[in-house]
């Protein structure tokens, strides 16, 4: 089961949401950061850090994260506030 964990950087105060136990994750570190809304109103930036995934596989991981968020919320999550509500 995919889990989401909120983390605050102790020095900068930046808040991230880490994703764990995604079935396709492997050894990748996956997190979501807040960004300024884009032209579609999305405030979420999904980041992938992996030594074992190529670009295409990392892009697929982003899609998997979006599907997991949609399943957890019951709708597409686009805003930071909605993300924080979903992971509680």
What ranges do the domains of the chain cover? 3-87
User: pTM for the complete prediction?
Assistant: 0.90
What pairing do the DSSP bridges indicate for beta strands 44-49 and 15-20? unpaired
The position carrying tokens 């995919």 is 2
Per DSSP, 2 falls in state -
Q: What pLDDT sits at residue 19?
A: 96
pLDDT single digits (tens) 2-29: 999 999 999 999 999 999 999 889 899 9
């Amino acid at each position: 089961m995919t889990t989401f964990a909120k983390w605050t950087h102790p020095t900068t105060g930046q808040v991230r949401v880490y994703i764990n136990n995604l079935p396709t994750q492997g050894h990748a570190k996956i997190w979501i950061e807040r960004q300024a809304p884009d032209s579609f109103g999305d405030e979420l930036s999904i980041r992938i850090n992996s030594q074992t995934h190529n670009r295409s596989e990392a892009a697929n991981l982003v899609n998997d994260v979006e599907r997991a968020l949609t399943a957890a919320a019951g709708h597409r999550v686009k805003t930071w506030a909605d993300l924080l509500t979903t992971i509680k």
